[in-house]
Amino acid sequence: MPDPGLSHRDENARTKSGFSRRDFLRGSGAAVAATTLSQAVSENAEAQQAGTKVAPGKATAIQLNINGKGVSVTVEPRVTLLDVLRDDLSLTGAKEACDTSNCGACTVLIDGKAAYACSVLAHQAVGKKIQTAEGLATGDNDAVAKCFVKHDATQCGYCTPGFVVATRAFVAAKPNATVEDVSKGLGGNICRCGTYAGVIAAALECSKKGGN
């Protein structure tokens, strides 16, 4: 009985050659899977022959310096700093959005420099000073955050903590910045609501004040 999913031309092709286009695609998929598995096995064997040691996935205790305080967490080597901040320490200022280092919503300061927490393993942050949006405030509020409020540089607010943290690092490195400087300096952060005019105005004012 003809396959209802095949056209008349496809059915003729089956009759003449012995298999249809669908058979070909199924066979191709199996071949690709077999090739991938073979490559993985080969690479693993080569690594063993070369004496390469793979770190175990066992969770271990590490010490982190976050917002001026030492904290101890037990994490596996694969766990990111973002996951530790949000899931283990309930510091949710760093947002989980793209998870691919493209939006900047998870920006934190590591030794004073802006970094994507989703792309830093927790183990890599040991021995470094980590500062989140929660740790920026001095007194009642952070000066950069105040500039964001003044210039209405928020809409939904999801990206705002990342922008504030990134701006803090930017103004410290670039006093008296220009619009072009701000656009370039904060280019790693994305606002899906499009409040860039307010963000730029806030960053310019903060830059002139030196972030104070």
pLDDT in tens, 105-122: 999 999 999 999 999 999
Same domain, 199 and 156: yes
Instruction: Examine residue 108 and state whether it is found in any structural domain, yes or no.
Output: no
Same domain, 125 and 181: no
Instruction: Examine residue 109 and state whether it is found in any structural domain, yes or no.
Output: no
DSSP E strands: which ranges in the chain?
60-66, 69-75, 107-110, 113-116, 129-131
Instruction: Examine residue 14 and state whether it is found in any structural domain, yes or no.
Output: yes
Domain of residue 181, residue span? 143-209
Quick check: 48 and 40 in contact, CB under 8 A?
Answer: no
pLDDT digits (tens, 9 = 90+) for 36-70: 556 655 655 665 666 655 555 799 999 999 999 99
Please name every residue paired with 72 in a beta bridge, in sequence order, or none if there are none: 63
pLDDT digits (tens, 9 = 90+) for 178-208: 999 999 999 999 999 999 999 999 999 999 9
Same domain, 124 and 69: yes
Instruction: Examine residue 167 and state whether it is found in any structural domain, yes or no.
Output: yes
Nearest alpha carbon to residue 199 among 187, 28, 209: 187
Quick check: 143 and 176 in contact, CB under 8 A?
Answer: no
CATH number at residue 205: 1.10.150.120
Instruction: Examine residue 106 and state whether it is found in any structural domain, yes or no.
Output: no
Same domain, 36 and 69: no
Q: Tokens 């598995």: give the residue.
A: 37
Q: Tokens 């730029």: give the residue.
A: 200
For the chain, how many structural domains are there in total?
A: 3
Same domain, 15 and 40: yes
Backbone CA torsion sign across 155, 159, 160, 164:
negative
